[in-house]
Amino acid sequence: MADSDRMAESDRMADETAQVGRPRNEAASAALKAAALRLVRTEGYGVSVSAIIREAGVSRQTLYNRWPTKAELVLDAFFELAGMQVATPDLGGDTPRRDLLATFLREVFGHLRKDADLLRTLIAEAQTDPGFRAVFFDRFVRPREEIVLALLRDAQARGEMNAGRDPDLASAMIHGAFWYRLLNDRPLTDAVADGLADEVFR
Amino acid sequence: MADSDRMAESDRMADETAQVGRPRNEAASAALKAAALRLVRTEGYGVSVSAIIREAGVSRQTLYNRWPTKAELVLDAFFELAGMQVATPDLGGDTPRRDLLATFLREVFGHLRKDADLLRTLIAEAQTDPGFRAVFFDRFVRPREEIVLALLRDAQARGEMNAGRDPDLASAMIHGAFWYRLLNDRPLTDAVADGLADEVFR
DNA sequence: GCAGTTAGTAGACTGCAGTCTAATTATACA
DNA sequence: TGTATAATTAGACTGCAGTCTACTAACTGC
């Protein structure tokens, strides 16, 4: 298997190998992502691949030339078009780390309220497709985990959190509470975000 | 839709309505559960329904007369045959509640180590099938949640935990950490169980 | 222009879960 | 013995994601 087979579609342009053969039509990628996000939001993840390619106006093979599965197309569309970027908390200032954590969690929960069903489906897809699980971990899980870990370690360094605590375990409890509530259909409110920050810094 | 359509297969015998028509062959249910659990454990959840009914020696329709989906058959097989029952912690004695929680979590993690992949798949199925989600919640999520909630409330009543804490949030952090590690392919060790108990009772 | 290479198209194909059909079988009751 | 009812069977069928085939189109380099 060539490396490029598992490469995120958007990174492929960075390949500077001399071009040979017919060039890829980049408009098709954009059309596919736009169609996928729109249809998944209006009809749910169960929308068929046939409907997506019909709306994008491309052939089936063109989709599978770019993404190995429907899940990876939807993941790309979701992250590029749905405003999923979260601001990394500013650890330079003097804001109490408990407050930075609460703000971060409020922001994450807020972004997700609109697309909770979609995120649940992507987590589900990750359970039955190891390749997609790795991609999902890199794009969604790890970045959020590293933000929280950096924040907790900084809080320990500043004496706002006991140095004996295990940041990995605390991070699993924070993200876990979020996943658990998401996967069991319970709302992710600002009150939950604040409560989690209070519990961790108690 | 009749109530019985969503009734757990094993509860149906409790229906004492006078029998009319050909009686259900109960041996077929047992054969299906045994075949499902054996094949899912050896070949993974991806094993086909055709393979399960072939091994059980029954027809396709006989399976779907008893369970609405493959997931519900596997769930029944898992809970009845895989020794998933956990002992409810004894809140009558004087054992510190932190220790009861640690023991409970060790037991849950231990049972799951053997069938972690299967449980992950069932959680995934629950995300795309609301009917199955309800069944899974009743059989797996709620019982474990209620055990932990009762333990935490008892600990508060005994003064082993601050009365101001929110047991629902603490429970979500405990179970969440477990789900998060399970769904992200990280091991559920005794050390994690003990660490969670320590964090909650810190 | 022509060869080589790669992306594009339409659509057939595979294997899957779950539904449906038609015929058969086991029971209760009259 | 016959009728009503519901479970059983084999297997066809539907709609799905993803693969494959045969062909066409766009580009590079000679």
* DSSP element (H, E) containing B82: none
Which two structure tokens, joined as six digits, stand for B2?
A: 């009749």
Give the type of residue at A28.
A
Q: Protein B123 CA to nucleic acid D21 C1', in Å?
A: 38
Kindly report which amino acid residue has its CA closest to the C1' atom of nucleotide D26. A22
CATH class for domain B3-81?
mainly alpha
For chain B, the helix, strand and coil percentages under 3-state DSSP, each to the nearest 5: 70, 0, 30
Query: Per-residue confidence at B17, pLDDT binned at 50, 70, 90?
Result: low
Q: Which residue has the tokens 């140095």?
A: A163
With CB atoms and an 8 Å threshold, state whether A120 touches B133: no
Topology annotation, domain A22-69: Arc Repressor Mutant, subunit A (1.10.10)
From chain B, pick out residues whose CB is under 8 angstroms from the CB of A176: 172-173, 175-181
Which one has a higher pLDDT value, A45 or B5? A45
- Rounded CA gap, A89 and A143, in Å? 12
Chain A residues within an 8 Å CB radius of B133 = 185
Give me chain B's average pLDDT, please.
91
What lies within 8 Å, CB to CB, of A114 at 6+ separation is: A82
What is the mean pLDDT of the segment spanning B25-29? 96
Helices (H) and strands (E) in chain B, counts: 10, 0
- pLDDT at position B106 is 96
Listed in order, the ranges of chain A carrying CATH 1.10.10.60 are 22-69
Residues 6-35 of B with CB under 7 A from strand D: 20-25, 28
Q: Is A136 on the interface with B (CB under 8 A)?
A: no
Which ranges of chain A does DSSP label H, i.e. alpha helix? 26-43, 49-56, 60-66, 70-81, 97-114, 116-128, 130-136, 142-157, 167-183, 190-201
Whether residue B88 contacts residue B22, with contact meaning beta carbons closer than 8 Å, is answered with no
Superfamily of domain B97-201: Tetracycline Repressor, domain 2 (1.10.357.10)
pLDDT tens digit sequence for B48-94: 999 999 999 999 999 999 999 999 999 999 998 877 788 899 999 99
Considering chain A, tell me which residue range(s) the CATH 1.10.357.10 domain(s) occupy.
97-201
pLDDT of residue A114: 87
What is the distance between the alpha carbons of residues A196 and A185, in angstroms, rounded to a whole number? 18
Residues of A in contact with B178 (CB under 8 A): 176
Nucleotide C24, nearest residue via CA and C1' = B22
Average pLDDT for runs of 10 along chain A of length 202: 43 57 95 97 96 98 98 96 84 95 96 93 97 96 96 97 95 98 96 97 92
Q: Where in chain B do CATH 1.10.357.10 domains reside? A: 3-81, 97-201
Q: Do B177 and A172 touch (CB under 8 A)?
A: yes
Q: Which nucleotide is nearest to A59 (CA to C1')?
A: C9
B126 touches chain A (CB under 8 A): yes
Q: What pLDDT score was predicted for residue B6?
A: 46
- Taken in order A166, A169, A175, A178, the sign of the CA dihedral is negative
Question: Which residues are CB-contacts of B112 (< 8 A; sequence separation ≥ 6)?
Answer: B119, B182, B188
Tell me, in Å, how far CA of A76 is from C1' of C10? Answer: 27
Picking from A54-68, A157-171, B9-23, B105-119, which range would have the lowest pLDDT averaged per residue?
B9-23
Residue B129 has pLDDT above 70, yes or no: yes
Sorted by sequence, the CB contacts under 8 Å of residue B62 that are 6+ apart come out as: B25, B28, B32, B53
Alpha-carbon gap, residue A3 to A134, rounded angstroms: 14
| Residue of A145, A169, A188, A194 to mutate, interface with B, max B Cβ within 10 Å | A169
